[in-house]
Amino acid sequence: MSIEATLAEKGITLPDAPAPAANYVPFAQSGNLIFVSGQISADENGLITGKLGENVSVEEGAAAARRCGLSLIAQVKAAIGDLDRVARVVKLTGFVNSTPDFTDQPKVINGCSDLMVEVFGDAGRHSRAAVSAPSLPFGVAVEIEAVFEVA
């Protein structure tokens, strides 16, 4: 089944690939790797803001991370046109806006990791880092960057 068919079957709609907010490109390709710049948590209502351990639950953080994942997929689609060319999700690096005592960063970033496996199957399994940040751009709850291998 094609990736587009998988998305349709699961009722997943990709957002438009977000434009960069500063002096950088949304993705860069080197050889068969696509490096996607950090995608911040946002949905159709705007930015998803807040701080884990203060006013955002782990479940809300995971949902925000999933939204970052949708933007990551939208960016790689903008880069290569055909999502069936994705050979593998190589790595995710997730940043969680959280209080100093918050320790569930992996549970938050699972929202994106689970999406990658849901969409790409075994090719969606990846290496990963999930770290805290004392603040993120625009006060968003989560930011995630990714590396994809393409055929």
Q: Has domain 3-13+25-150 been given CATH number 3.40.50.20?
A: no
Say if residues 11 and 69 touch (Cβ distance below 8 Å). Answer: no
Q: In whole angstroms, what is the distance from residue 55 CA to residue 42 CA?
A: 17
Q: What is the pLDDT of residue 21?
A: 85
The per-residue pLDDT string of the chain (151 residues; one tens digit each, 9 = 90 and over) reads: 899 999 999 999 999 999 998 999 999 999 999 999 999 999 999 999 999 999 999 999 999 999 999 999 999 999 999 999 999 999 999 999 999 999 999 999 999 999 999 999 999 999 999 999 999 999 999 999 999 999 9
Answering whether pTM is above 0.95, one says: yes
Q: What is the pLDDT of residue 118?
A: 98
What is the dihedral sign for C-alpha 62, 96, 25, 46?
positive
Say if residues 17 and 74 touch (Cβ distance below 8 Å). Answer: yes
Domain range list for the chain: 3-13+25-150
